[in-house]
Amino acid sequence: MQNDQLLILRRRYHKLCNCTRLGFLYYTMKRKKSVILFSFVCLFVAPVWISAQTTLPAASELKKLSFEELMNIEVTSVSKVPERLTEVASAIQVITNDDIKRSSSNTLGGALRLASNLQVAKTNSHDWAISSRGFNGATLRNNTLSNKLLVMIDGRSVYTPLFGGVFWDVQNVLLEDIDRIEVVSGPGGTLWGANAVNGVINVMTKSAKETQGMLVTASTGTFLQDHLAARFGTRIDSNLYLRVYGQHFDQGSTKLANGTDARDNWGLTQGGFRLDYYPSAKNSLSIHGDAYGGSEETPIGSKQSGQNLVGRWVHTYSETSELVVQAYFDRTWKYLLASDLRELLNTYDIDAQHRFALNKSNSILWGIGYRYMDDHTSNTFLPANRGLNLVNTFIQDQINLIPHELDLTVGTKFLYNTYSGFEIQPSARIAWMPTPRHTLWGAVSRAVRTPSRFETDIFSPPTLSTPGGIFKAETVVSYEVGYRVRAGERVSLSLAAFYNFYDDLRSFNNNPTPPTTFIFANDQEANTWGFEISGNAVVNDWWRLRGGYTYLDKKFTSKSPNVLPASALIEALDPKHQVMIQSVMNLTRNLQWDVAARHVGDIQSTLVGTAAVGAYTTFDMRLAWESPKFTFAVQGQNLAASDHAEFSSQQIPRSVLAKISFRF
């Protein structure tokens, strides 16, 4: 029956192709942009009245399966729109395990492209420029100066005190283990750690209980040359679960603007474990750790390694009261060959957070945390070694003004750090749910970006010096409004608009008091404004769509005549427009066809020697055959854009990859 249909289809489609030689389609074929347009049209014109298609074996076959096999079948090939999102009064977007699996991404950075409220650009073979609501900073060595995002992986903050950003090349979570990634654009300052000025990325992996059995994947392709991963999950005792995993990959190099090989290939090997223990229904304990080592060639040849160990205990007193205690140790080491710079960072962190209902209408969340970061450098920074203290405490009250209808959340975070001392970050949010399907919300918050070693300790005579202890924290006051709507079980839409006012932003100034030519200061202000639209649509049993559009604009002002004109561009290199659409489709019971397309607007000229980055439109595509035990996928990235620059001058290639996975 299925085959017959296909045969008829094939005939029809040959006919159609012939007919269209002279028609509209042929015209569109001739133009690259129109190809994309056509693909979008394909995705959207498809009628919503399409009836459900059988993607399950017949009942008679299902009955032959064991309980274990039945429990392994994915019941919603098309995930339902997450319900609790409607209640969240912030610009949150969620990337699920299935979204990642059905995209063609093979790195965390790639997976983050699926959140349309993030600006994600690949800078070279191994690094990414990732920001939310703008402020993707200029490239520095292998990384970028982007510093207004808080990134957490299973409760562990991965920002570096060296420059306040993230070394994306060493955040290699096994994508199959990710449960969900929550991306909040806008200040999350009240509840989360430092640097949540423009957004929070919260990566959560599955528990060991949810990753039982063996998984082996092997990939080979034109850009990601090889990737091998294995994960094994087992039940040690009735309440004790363990998983261990390992992965290794080698990625090829990009090209320089002139077409020559950029020689920035890299490779990394990583392993880790997670132990989940449920001694009783009221307690759970999770211990997990990772260790990795890798090396990169250009722009700066480097080697890196790291280990981390996290323990978290959750105690539930009642449905409205819970205590979470977490501690972790994180060691990262980096060696940049060209500048002979070695950096060793040891982080020790302990946090506790308690949630309880004060009375019927007040729900309190409060917490306290201490972090000590011991940073050793071999040169470039003075003093070479620094011990950094970070103490933070927060309290938040969620006040239920009208039950199920009007919620007010007020809170503040107090932060003490070695550089700028005491900082206060208050926020207020209001959410109105006129009906269970609609949420209107608004928020005002203040957040700070604490100084990093880059602005305070860098030692690079005779060019650049730092104002030492007088470099202040950068601040933002953010005004947000948003609207979420859920139309039935199948469609949800979210709109968030913001206006941010930044003060004391970092600037590069002409130094009025030589010897050095330039000096850091807090002499920039900026306004940014924009909006984010995102949506999920479950078209039918076998097809769903998600996507979004983000608009962002900004204006910088210098507060001093000494500020170098390029200062604004060093801080913020962002496209004004970006669009992302992901289509997830089960063509037959076993055949999956997925497309993730994106358009990213142009980015203003970067610093001397690099051209502006032009707008580009491209798509990733995946075709996979999947059975309960086996997946074979062919996936392509950047299929519509051959070598193209996304942030720096490195040209990101079009690539194709074959991937095979076994589960048993």
Does 65 engage in binding with another protein (CB under 8 A)? yes
Helix ranges, 82-191 (H): 97-101, 108-112
CB 208 within 8 A of CB 233: yes
Which position has the token pair 């005491």?
A: 422
Half-sphere exposure at residue 376, Cβ-oriented, CA atoms within 13 angstroms: 8
Give 70-97 as a 3 state SS string.
HHHCCCCCCCCCCCHHHHCCCEEEEEEH
CB 119 within 8 A of CB 578: yes
Minimum Å gap between C-beta 279 and another protein is 10
Beta-strand pair 474-487/464-465: unpaired
Q: Which of 86, 90, 97, 125 binds another protein (CB under 8 A)?
A: 97
Instruction: Pick the closer one to another protein by CB: 278 or 549.
Output: 278
Q: Which of 18, 21, 49, 515 binds another protein (CB under 8 A)?
A: 49
Scan residues 14-43 and list those touching another protein (CB under 8 A): 16-17, 20, 25, 28-29, 32, 35, 38-39, 42
Q: How many residues bind another protein (CB under 8 A)?
A: 68
Does 5 engage in binding with another protein (CB under 8 A)? yes
Does 324 engage in binding with another protein (CB under 8 A)? no
Over the window 300 to 319, marking each residue x when it contacts another protein by CB under 8 A and - when it does not, the resulting string is ----------------xxxx
Scan residues 614-643 and list those touching another protein (CB under 8 A): 621, 636, 639-640, 642
Does 233 engage in binding with another protein (CB under 8 A)? no
What is the rounded (10 degree) CA torsion for 99, 101, 107, 113?
-20
Beta-carbon contacts of residue 339 (< 8 Å; ≥ 6 apart):
141, 300, 379, 380
- In terms of phi and psi (left: phi > 0; alpha: psi -120 to 50; beta: otherwise), the region of 164 is left
Minimum Å gap between C-beta 493 and another protein is 23
Minimum Å gap between C-beta 301 and another protein is 22
Instruction: Pick the closer one to another protein by CB: 24 or 630.
Output: 24
Instruction: Pick the closer one to another protein by CB: 533 or 537.
Output: 537
Does 46 engage in binding with another protein (CB under 8 A)? yes
Q: Which of 24, 37, 74, 435 binds another protein (CB under 8 A)?
A: 74
Instruction: Pick the closer one to another protein by CB: 277 or 520.
Output: 277
| Stretch of 63-71, 156-164, 197-205, 510-518 lying at the interface with another protein (CB under 8 A) | 63-71
Does 73 engage in binding with another protein (CB under 8 A)? yes
Distance CA 391, CA 333 (A): 24
Does 226 engage in binding with another protein (CB under 8 A)? no
Does 360 engage in binding with another protein (CB under 8 A)? no
Distance CA 117, CA 606 (A): 22
Q: Which of 179, 226, 374, 503 binds another protein (CB under 8 A)?
A: 179
Minimum Å gap between C-beta 190 and another protein is 27
Q: Which of 7, 37, 50, 214 binds another protein (CB under 8 A)?
A: 50
Minimum Å gap between C-beta 645 and another protein is 17
Residues written for the chain: 664
Beta-carbon contacts of residue 312 (< 8 Å; ≥ 6 apart):
155, 285, 286, 287, 324, 325, 326
Q: Which of 502, 429, 351, 500 is nearest to 92 (CA)?
A: 429
Buried b (16+ CB within 10 A) or exposed e, 298-326: bbbbbebbbebbbbbbbebeeeeebbbeb
Assigned token pair, 432: 């109105």
Scan residues 527-556 and list those touching another protein (CB under 8 A): 541
Q: Which of 240, 491, 493, 656 binds another protein (CB under 8 A)?
A: 656
**From start to end of 461-604, where are the E strands?**
464-465, 474-487, 491-510, 518-540, 543-558, 577-586, 591-600
Buried b (16+ CB within 10 A) or exposed e, 617-628: bbbbbbbbebee
Q: Which residues in this chain contact another protein in the complex, by CB under 8 A?
A: 5, 8-9, 12-13, 16-17, 20, 25, 28-29, 32, 35, 38-39, 42, 45-47, 49-56, 58-59, 62-63, 65, 67-68, 70-77, 79, 97-98, 179, 206, 210, 222, 280-282, 316-319, 541, 587, 593, 621, 636, 639-640, 642, 653-656
